Amino acid sequence: MPLATVKAGSKVRFVNVQAGQALKARLAAMGLVPGSELEVVSNSLHGPFIVSVKGSRLVLGRGMAQKIMVV
């Protein structure tokens, strides 16, 4: 399922990215690699989409979160 649909407070596992190499490289540089655990900190209809990964918080755009597949 897309990361954008996960409710705040949920923990999920990163599976893959349905995008080009540029976005995959950008996410990998931020620590988002397949197999890593994410916790959704904030996911409201308005405002930033915030995830916690490896002890750091990342703010993602909605379009980017829609392309990230998690389980």
Query: Model's pTM, two decimal places?
Result: 0.90
Looking up residue 61, the CATH number of its domain turns out to be 2.30.30.90
Structural domain count, the chain: 1
Write the DSSP string, 10-30: -EEEEEEE-S-HHHHHHHHHT
Closest CA to 19 of 35, 2, 40: 2
pLDDT tens, per residue, the chain with 71 residues = 999 999 999 999 999 999 999 999 999 999 999 999 999 999 987 888 999 999 999 999 999 999 999 99
Q: Residue 57: give the domain boundaries.
A: 3-70
Identity of the residue numbered 38: L
The three-class DSSP label of residue 67 is helix
